[in-house]
Amino acid sequence: MNGEPTGNKLALGSKGALRFEITAAGKMAHSAYPELGESAIEKLLDALSAIRSIRLPSDPLLGASTLNIGTISGGRAPNVVADQASAEIMFRVVGSPEPLREAVAQAVEGRASAREVLYIPPVRLGHLPGFDTTVVAFTSDIPAFGGAWGKPFMLGPGSIHVAHTEQEHILKTELAAAVGLYQKIVRQLLAAC
> Looking at residue 124, what is its pLDDT?
94
> Looking at residue 164, what is its pLDDT?
87
> How many angstroms separate the CA atoms of 118 and 107, rounded?
19
Helices 98-108 & 40-52, crossing angle to 10 degrees? Answer: 140
The DSSP string of 49-87 is HHHHTSPPPEETTTEE-EEEEEEEEE-S-TTEE-SEEEE
> How many angstroms separate the CA atoms of 169 and 142, rounded?
22
> Looking at residue 17, what is its pLDDT?
98
> Looking at residue 182, what is its pLDDT?
96
| Domains of the chain by residue range | 10-14+123-192, 16-120
* Distance, CA of 59 to chain centre: 16
> How many angstroms separate the CA atoms of 159 and 147, rounded?
26
What type of residue is 171? L
Answer whether CATH 3.40.50.880 is correct for domain 16-120: no
Angle at the Cα of 78 from the Cα atoms of 72 and 84, rounded to 5 degrees = 45
Kindly tell me the burial class for residue 136, based on how many C-beta atoms sit within 10 Å of its own C-beta (0-12, 13-18, 19 or more).
buried
In tens digits, the chain (193 residues) has pLDDT values of 899 999 999 999 999 999 999 999 999 999 999 999 999 999 999 999 999 999 999 999 999 999 999 999 999 999 999 999 999 999 999 999 999 999 999 999 999 999 999 999 999 998 999 999 999 999 999 998 888 888 899 999 999 999 889 999 999 999 999 999 999 999 999 998 8
> Looking at residue 46, what is its pLDDT?
98
In this prediction the pTM is: 0.90
